[in-house]
Amino acid sequence: MSRIGNNPISVPEGVNIEIHEDSIKVSGKLGSLTQDFDGVSVSKVENQLVVKRNSESKDHKAKHGLYRSLFSNMVIGVSQGWTKSLELVGVGYRAQSSGQKLDLSLGFSHNIVLSLPDEVKIETVNEKGKNPVINITSFDKQLVGMVAAKIRSYRKPEPYKGKGVKFVGEEIRRKAGKSA
């Protein structure tokens, strides 16, 4: 029994949902998202979206909670949006954004220039005495996570000094250095 899949999704004002035979389109003030599905049936009752599985097979049970979570993320994304924040920890680590380009200085011999998709908005916060912070915002949760993971992969936090690109609030497991 899927506990997540059985929960209905409340649809806020201003969110339009079009349900087709094997796809769903959710549009709102921030954008529009489309998702294909199979093994489940989707219906809209008043201001709630209900996901039911077609059979009791193992495959359909697995997809029941998955598609309900994906649809919920779509509804939240087009109405409120998703945000992830990354922090650059290290001497000389800097980030600058201009339009859809992100310029990262992470201790390599050259700067890393990253081109971002149009759906993603990026903002860099550089305050004196604090680590630079990169805020990634979009209506697509999967895209926000992929962009954040790509930026983090350039310089993952290391366990001895904690230098690198980390998520804001992430706990880095520290190791002791050499004992003299």
pLDDT of residue 179: 80
87 and 155 both lie in a single domain:
yes
61 and 98 both lie in a single domain:
no
Taking the C-alpha atoms of residue 121 and residue 136, their distance in angstroms, rounded to an integer, is: 6
pLDDT of residue 121: 95
Residue-range definition of the domain harbouring residue 24 = 3-79
Mean pLDDT of 126-149: 95
pLDDT of residue 180: 65
pLDDT of residue 177: 86
66 and 92 both lie in a single domain:
no
Q: Taking the model in full, what pTM does it have?
A: 0.89
Quote the DSSP letter at residue 156: P
For a pLDDT cut of 70, what percent of the chain falls above it? 98
Distance set, CA 172 to CA 16, 146, 152, 153, 158 (Å): 41, 20, 13, 15, 8
Overall domain count for the chain = 2
96 and 162 both lie in a single domain:
yes
Give φ, ψ of 6 to 5 degrees: -80, -20
Mean pLDDT of 84-92: 94
- Inside any domain, residue 162: yes
Q: Assign residue 49 the CATH number of its domain.
A: 3.90.930.12
- Inside any domain, residue 175: no
Does residue 125 surpass a pLDDT of 80?
A: yes
110 and 160 both lie in a single domain:
yes
122 and 107 both lie in a single domain:
yes
115 and 160 both lie in a single domain:
yes
Query: What helix, strand, coil percent values describe the chain, rounded to 5?
Result: 20, 35, 40
**Nearest 10 degrees: CA dihedral of 72, 78, 80, 86?**
90
Tell me the residue length of the chain.
180
Residue appearing with tokens 């962009």: 147
What tens digit of pLDDT does each residue of 29-75 get?
999 999 999 989 999 998 999 999 999 999 998 899 999 999 999 99
pLDDT of residue 2: 61
54 and 112 both lie in a single domain:
no
Does residue 150 surpass a pLDDT of 90?
A: yes
- Inside any domain, residue 43: yes
What tens digit of pLDDT does each residue of 94-120 get?
999 998 999 999 999 999 999 999 999
Q: Are 51 and 67 in contact (CB under 8 A)?
A: yes
